[in-house]
Structure 1
Amino acid sequence: MKAAIYCRLSKEDEYKIGESESIQNQKSMLIQYAIEKGFDIYQIYSDEDYSGIDRNRPAFNSMIQAASEHKFDVVLAKTQSRFTRDMELVEKYLHGKFIEWGIRFIAVVDHVDTNDTANKKSRQINGLINEWYLEDLSTNVRSVLDHKRKEGLFIGSFARYGYCKDPNAKGKLIIDPEAAEVVRRIFSMALSGIGAHKIARILNDEKVPSPTAYKQQHGIHYHIAAKNPNADLWSSPTVYQMLHNQLYAGDMVQGRHKKVSYKSEKTIWLPQSQWIVVENTHEAIIDRGTFETVQMMLKERTRSGGKGTIHPLAKKVVCGCCGSYMEQTGRQPKADGTQRRYVRCRMHQRAPEVCGNKTCTDMNALENAVLERIRAYVADYFDPEKVTLPEQDDPIQQREHAKRDELKRLKSEVDRRRKAVQELYLDKVSGLIDTVQFSEMNQTFLEDVKNAETRINILEAELEQQQEETSVVQTQMQRVRELAQVSHLTRELAVLLVHRVVVGTKDPLTGEQKITIEWNF
């Protein structure tokens, strides 16, 4: 009789203690068994790093194919679980196809033998136990991985583009200087109003390696699906995902998808509310303010123009007559070679009977008007020399001072109470007060200290939060000051400050046109 030997080893075996499950151990045992039973060995099949629930094991499937072609008579495995941990496959092959094909299955250690009809129930119980084991193992492993995620430890096989794994600290990321410079450039281009498609085109034109190509060039064994022949090129989805990735701001973002079952490789994407996000786990490539500004710009994203840039006021200019968006029309060349751009009401073009605003508005003049108004607001509200409100009249400052005064008083009170407790104890030792008096007074002092410390914790947390908010506001004010010095209106500045620009119709007599700017502040 000819026998096929099947061996399997997977990572799940790392959890076994005191049991040698190596491929070599399995082969030696099964070869010796085959010799003792007088079987001729047809072929040895072995799968390494494959779970017993995996139905796509290459050697396993090759063996099944050979079995269906009647190329051997017996299948030998160390245990039934080496063959499979899937109860469905136990029934399909051990109690179905193998009988149909005239194949005998023997698991040496388990004493499983399909020629022995009396132990069929035992095989079925083994199958159930093996599957339960794998289900419990899957749950335990998932719990361990989720705990690591919540601790802010990186558990992925490959670090995201721009980072690499810290060789000196497991689960930590450090910046990859070469790739990080490309990430900074991508965010910089996005801030200037360049769309994801054009960013990808620029990087491809300059032959900047894509994240996949970069990994492969640096010796990282990173494999991609064969269905993506353009993985070596930058694409707009790749750029768009990078611009959205909070990892670049220094936060660890994991658990964005999960397997539907331990028996399936299929994964599903989870809603953002279920992601595991731990802030400030590693050095940021992109500062927080820049990252948040880019997110605002992405929320208001619109189609880029013919040159791949997004117009500064795109989807922000609306008709004062009907409220529809105004869109850019044809351009007319000026004497100096530049082009004059116009916007007009989209609704009027489609349904003149609904909106009578047929005015074409000079886009350059509109941009200049918005920029001048921004500069005027910056000069009025962010110039310290023009701030006339006295500090003592500022309600926010008053509340902050009151909290700091209360905090100082409470800390002093806690110190006094602790000293009083010490003195009280000395009085007890000296016999000035008895044990009952000491206990009652001590309890009162301790309760006072506990209440004071609770209030101290609340005040410190509120002051810390207020300080963080003040720091954010100051950073934004400084950013606005810097942006307001630019020579022309940028998409970043428009997204930060402008809600919309309402353009009215022109007065037929005076030619005047009312422009109203609605701000985000």
Structure 2
Amino acid sequence: MNATPSLRAAIYARYSTDKQKDTSVEDQIRLCRRMCEQNGWQVTEVFTDHALSGKNALRPGYQRLIRAAECGQIDIIVAESQNRLSRDMADSATLLKRMSYFGVRLHTAAENELDDMKVGVSGLVSTMFLRDLAQKTRRGLEGRVARGKSAGGICYGYRVKREILPDGTLSTGDREIEPEESAVIQRIFQDYADGLSARTIAAALNSEGVPGPQSGKGTGVWNPSTISGNIKRGTGILNNELYIGRLVWNRLTYDTNPDTGKRLSRLNPPDDWKIEEVPQLRILDDQLWHAVKTRQGEVRQAMNPAGVLTERPRLERARRPTYLLSGLLRCACCGASYTLINKTRYGCAGARNKGAAVCTNRATIGREEVEDRVLSGLKQRLLAPDLLAQFAEEYRKAFNEAAAGACQERQKAEASLKKVDGKIAGILKAIEDGMYHASLKAKMTELEEEKARLKALIKESPEPPALRLHSSLSQRYREMVEDLARSLNAPEVKREAMAELRALISQVRMVPDADAPGGHQLELVGELAGIMALGGLESKKPPLFAEAGSETMVAGAGFEPATFRL
């Protein structure tokens, strides 16, 4: 009589991330092998998953187990408990249904052979356990945030701070500023505020070998996305409010896609955010933070100038201007941009792209000629006698304001020193009159120390000298203005110079005129017009281009002041 062949058993073991160790898998396998020996089952395969949650059915070892069962390679699946196989009710029911179809039984050390009732009850318990665990974890994290502690990992710029508590345990959730990383953060914000892109900043940091964030999925190499992140979600170096001493929690909610098993995030309403002030963790001042926020807004506006929410922003629209007046030139006939039609000449984009029905202006002008005429007019106005006098007056005011502050501190110190000398003289007089007391010695020592401190302060704050404007000051001003074109295009200041110039000039209107140099009259519009008007006659706005709240000046042939031309 032939003996009944033993059942082929496959063992499955898993541990998640909740404070379990890799040895947990070994313990589970040992328990399952003992159960197989007791029942006479032959262990043919062992499948494991390490540090993976039972909520996710897309575990590598779990999927291999199912494929082995479907291929008829095993007769029974053995695990420590049902929640090792799955913590999801739907997945547990599906597993039992599929294994029943392929003739594979499910056995656990805790529940023995699984059936519909055991799977249903155990799945319900697991689901309730996970929900209760999530609520308790969330409550604990919210309490940490309320105490200004970390509710998760430590972001770039900080390090874990450990202190021994009165009960002998170590503190958790505390952090402090990491000086070297803090300096990198300040550099990133300053570079971005100065006009550098996230891509340029990342490339510079990598070329210098500056280590990047390594926590989580960080590789230690700087990427543009590491710096720019997502402004709405508060991700990225430039959007981390912790750098200005604000701890923001519950901005995002995380959930798992049941189809893909991937963990996704959703943005919570701002009313649900938890915000705590943690001034001890501030790295940046408000001025630099707001400068970066302002520039981010300008970049977003450039990417989507119409503000259409349904239109996907286009990064190429936010490219920085290549030349000094790029993007500022406008056709006076149709309002379209003047763009480079070749390497050296500007022309109306409306006429070129939309035809004569939209614009008939086919005149072109050299790029360098436009820049030279604008800067020449600017130089002429800035060298006017009235502006030279105003420059000297503003310099005098700034000097006097700085000197007044130093003088005030010196005067306070001198007054305090006079009082201290009086107190010392009084003590000496009392000693001479035979009124010595031991406490007078301590008081005398204290006064002598204060006297020494005040004398040192006065020595470090000498009397401010009388303001004398050097005879070469006006000449230096002239040299700087005369060399304006070279100064504005110097590589080390070009980025800042272009930004400042664009803040003063809203546009340069190109008026086609066959009799004018280069076939164009130039009209400057913006705050720069008001500044330049200080050095010339009263401005006269051309009626066609007059705008409320702005000064308009014309840069034409010869820049005749009578017509307010530059």
What TM-score, normalized to structure 2? Answer: 0.54
1:166–1:174 CA contact under 8 A, matched in 2? yes
Q: CA 1:379–1:36 in 2, change beyond 3 Å: closer, same or farther?
A: farther
Q: Helix, strand or coil for the counterpart of 2:506?
A: strand
Number of the residue aligned with 2:95: 93
Aligned amino acid, residue 246 of structure 1: N
> Structure 1 residue 498: deviation in Å?
4.2
Q: Counterpart amino acid of 2:255?
A: V
Measured after TM superposition, the shift of residue 257 of structure 1 is 4.0
| Counterpart residue number, 2:336 | 324
Residue 363 in structure 1 maps to residue 359 in structure 2: no
After superposition, give the CA deviation of every residue in 1:163-197 in whole Å (9 maximum; x if it has no partner): 44445564454444444444444444334433344
CA change 1:126–1:369 in 2 (3 A) is farther
Report Cα offsets for 1:390-413 as digits up to 9, x if no partner: xxxxxxxxxxxxxxxxxxxxxxxx
Which residue in the other structure is 1:503 paired with? 509
The CA distance in 2 between the partners of 1:163 and 1:283, in whole Å, is: 8
Letter matched to residue 132 of structure 1: M
In 1: Cα distance, 2:502 partner to 2:324 partner: 11
User: What SS does the corresponding residue of 1:54 show, helix, strand or coil?
Assistant: coil
Q: Distance in 2 between matches of 1:327 and 1:243?
A: 35
Q: Identify the match of residue 137 of structure 1 among 127, 133, 138.
A: 133
- Which amino acid in 1 is paired with 2:238? H
Tell me which of 5, 20, 27 is aligned to 2:11: 5
Of residues 241, 264, 269 in structure 2, which corresponds to 1:267? Answer: 264
**What's the counterpart of residue 105 of structure 2?**
104
Within the candidate set 240, 246, 252, 1:246 is matched to 240
Contact conserved, 1:53 with 1:84, CA < 8 A, in 2? Answer: yes
Between stretches 279-288 and 81-90, larger displacement belongs to 279-288
Matched, 1:36 2:45: no
Distance 1:276 1:364, change over 3 A: farther
Q: Per the alignment, do residues 309 and 496 of structure 1 end up closer, same or farther by CA in structure 2, a change over 3 Å counting?
A: closer
Question: CA–CA distance in 2 between the matches of 1:73 and 1:38?
Answer: 13
Q: 1:369 to 1:199 in 2, by over 3 A?
A: farther
Give 1:123 deviation, angstroms: 2.7
Report the CA distance between 1:211 and its aligned residue: 2.5
Secondary structure (helix, strand or coil) at the match of 1:193 reads: coil
Bigger relative CO (Cα 8 Å, ≥ 6 apart): 1
The whole-number CA distance in structure 2 between the counterparts of 1:517 and 1:163 is: 45
Please tell me the residue identity of whatever aligns with 1:80.
Q
CA contact (8 A) 2:329 2:337 kept: yes
Work out which of the residue numbers 497, 514, 525 in structure 2 matches 1:516: 525
**Are 2:293 and 1:298 equivalent residues in the alignment?**
no
Report if the CA contact (8 A) 1:504-1:515 is conserved. no
Distance 2:147 2:374 in 1: 50
Equivalent-residue separation in structure 2 for 1:157 and 1:239 (angstroms) = 18
Q: Residue 173 of structure 1 contacts residue 282 of structure 1 at CA under 8 Å; is this kept in 2? A: no
Is residue 331–residue 510 contact of structure 2 (8 Å, CA) maintained in 1? yes
Task: Report % sequence identity.
Answer: 21
The alpha-carbon distance between structure 1 residues 202 and 282, as it changes in their structure 2 partners (threshold 3 A), is same
Judged with a 3 Å threshold, the aligned counterparts in structure 2 of structure 1 residues 516 and 194 are, in CA distance, closer, same or farther, namely same
- For residue 194 of structure 1, what is the aligned residue in structure 2? 196
Query: Take 1:232 and 1:87, find their aligned partners in 2: how far apart are those partners?
Result: 40
Pick from 99, 102, 127 the counterpart of residue 123 of structure 2: 127
CA shift, 1:267, in A, is 0.7
Q: Does structure 2 conserve the Cα–Cα contact (< 8 Å) formed by 1:5 and 1:27?
A: yes
The match for 2:500 among 494, 497, 509 is: 494
Structure 1: state its 5+ residue gaps: 15-20, 225-230, 333-341, 387-483
**1:506 Cα shift?**
6.5
Distance 1:313 1:257, change over 3 A: farther
Amino acid at match of 1:266: R
CA deviations 1:217-254 (Å, max 9, x no partner) are: xxx6x557xxxxxx776444444335632344444455
CA drift of 1:101 comes to 2.8
CA distance, structure 2, for counterparts of residue 368 and residue 135 of structure 1? 73
8 A Cα contact 2:93 2:116, kept in partner: no
Query: Distance in 1 between the 2:277 and 2:501 partners?
Result: 25
Distance 1:164 1:120 in 2: 50
Residue type of the alignment partner of 1:5: I
> Structure 1 residue 113: deviation in Å?
1.6
Contact 1:259 1:265 in 2 (8 A): no
Alignment partner of 1:62: what SS?
A: helix
CA distance, structure 2, for counterparts of residue 92 and residue 367 of structure 1:
77
User: What pairs up with 1:312-351 in 2 under 5 angstroms?
Assistant: 315-327=327-339, 345-351=348-354
Alignment counterpart, residue 79 of structure 1, candidates 78, 81, 97: 81
Contact 1:317–1:500 (8 Å) recurs in 2 = no
The structure whose Rg is larger is 2
Q: Kindly indicate whether the alpha-carbon contact (under 8 Å) linking 1:318 and 1:500 is maintained by their aligned counterparts in 2.
A: no
Q: Distance in 2 between matches of 1:370 and 1:142?
A: 62
Q: Distance in 2 between matches of 1:371 and 1:295?
A: 34
Contact 1:74/1:103 (CA < 8 Å) preserved in 2? yes
Q: Distance in 1 between matches of 2:327 and 2:173?
A: 43
Alpha carbons 1:194, 1:309 under 8 Å: kept: no
3-state SS in 2 of match to 1:260: strand
The Cα offsets for residues 27-62 of structure 1, whole Å up to 9 and x where unpaired, read as 454344333333333344443432221213333333
Do the aligned partners of 2:253 and 2:268 also contact (CA within 8 Å) in 1?
A: no
- Structure 2: how far apart are the matches of 1:495 and 1:135? 59
Shift of 1:517: 0.5
Alpha carbon RMSD of aligned pairs, Å?
4.8
**What is the letter of the counterpart of residue 336 of structure 2?**
S
Paired residues in the alignment total 386
Contact 1:191-1:294 at 8 Å conserved across structures = yes
- SS of match in other structure, 1:56: coil
Evaluate the alpha carbon distance shift between residue 61 and residue 193 of structure 1 in structure 2; reply closer, same or farther with a 3 A threshold. same
- Match of residue 66 from structure 2: 64
Show the counterpart of 1:113: 113
C-alpha contact (below 8 Å) 1:195/1:304 kept by paired residues: no
Query: Match of 1:53, SS?
Result: coil
Take 1:255 and 1:365, find their aligned partners in 2: how far apart are those partners? 56
Structure 1 match to 2:542: none
Q: Please give the secondary structure, in 2, of the residue aligned with 1:300.
A: helix
Q: Once the 2 structures are TM-superposed, how far is the Cα of residue 310 of structure 1 from its aligned partner?
A: 5.7
Structure 2 unmatched ranges of 5 or more: 1-6, 164-170, 230-235, 303-314, 399-479, 489-493, 529-548, 551-566
Deviations 1:285-338, CA, capped at 9 Å, x for gaps: 443322322332333336899x98765665455455544344456666xxxxxx
1:468-496 per-residue CA deviation (whole Å, 9 max, x = no partner) reads: xxxxxxxxxxxxxxxx9995472685399
